[in-house]
A = this chain, B = another copy of it.
């Protein structure tokens, strides 16, 4: 597509486990990574050629970072718009700003999905109590009030079961713009992980079925317990979203499976413009992981069919779950991945384990 110089060094904004796994995957392609993160204890620093410890609005550090890399990517969707713009003026940023702008705001995101003809939960913008009352009038109970920005792992959202929850919900938004969403009566949660190359070619990984606990992903299972047409529909959504965002890299779309009289239908929940926790199983069960697919795309390299050789269950190790590590290490068929975080905290993602079994089909 566009003329590009050979990419040897990739800059990664964000130094958590996703950045770390991107750097590891890049290394297998011969790429060096430079990681930018304000937190000096960032797990990704240990596997990077160079680390920038600075705030995302530190323009001198950002300029030096941009000068030291051939392309920039990121591991989290809340990259400040000003940071992305500053970097884009100096070096390609992939995926581009459209993906960040679309996914950073739940209202923009749902409007974007609806515009593509992809079903979502019913939603209304809510700025104050009066708007919330009007929105509840249309959507009904139960519903969920969410801040439009900066929510993850269930943070910044409140369930409204009936009128008695309205005051608490609006207070929890602390004056931030919000969105009211109808509750989707889903049978299961799945996601689609798509990758789109610089040349516009898309691939999608097999669809995992996801199980959350306390709003945090606990298990992803592949194959998911869904029909073949539903799996195909999920892949089509992934490819459509990637195409519409003129995306470069890996994008995940979380989906609800709703069982009705006419069979299964899909409802899109949210878009993550990055590698995704529900794709960690690809590391063990596929020839090419989501991390490698992302780094290939970002580096302008071709993608390839992400052949899955095994069935797999990914289990997140959260907080004290790491106590099971000695047992997991001795378990045949278990592939452990620890993120090198020294401090164990409740709710903190410490690692994951992929357990594979022979592919049934």
Q: B46 touching A49 by the CB < 8 A rule? A: yes
Contact of A332 among B32, B305, B331 (CB under 8 A): B305
6 nearest A-B pairs in the assembled complex, by CB-CB distance: A30-B338, A305-B332, A30-B340, A46-B49, A302-B330, A32-B46
Binds B, one of A20-28, A100-108, A266-274: A20-28
A72 at the interface (CB under 8 A from B): no
**Given pairs A24-B24, A30-B351, A32-B46, 9 additional interface contacts (CB within 8 A):** A24-B28, A29-B338, A30-B338, A30-B339, A30-B340, A45-B49, A296-B329, A302-B329, A307-B332
Shortest beta-carbon distance from A70 to chain B in Å: 13
Shortest beta-carbon distance from A336 to chain B in Å: 7
Residues on B with C-beta less than 8 A from A359 are 358
A288 at the interface (CB under 8 A from B): yes
Q: B301 touching A338 by the CB < 8 A rule? A: no
Interface string of A289-317 (1 = CB under 8 A from B): 00000001000011111010110000000
Contact of A28 among B30, B307, B338 (CB under 8 A): B338
Shortest beta-carbon distance from A240 to chain B in Å: 23
A159 at the interface (CB under 8 A from B): no
Shortest beta-carbon distance from A118 to chain B in Å: 28
A120 at the interface (CB under 8 A from B): no
Q: A309 touching B27 by the CB < 8 A rule? A: no
Most chain B C-beta atoms within 10 Å of own C-beta, residue among A20, A46, A339, A356: A46
A335 at the interface (CB under 8 A from B): yes
Residues on B with C-beta less than 8 A from A305 are 332
Contact of A333 among B23, B287, B339 (CB under 8 A): B287
Shortest beta-carbon distance from A180 to chain B in Å: 41
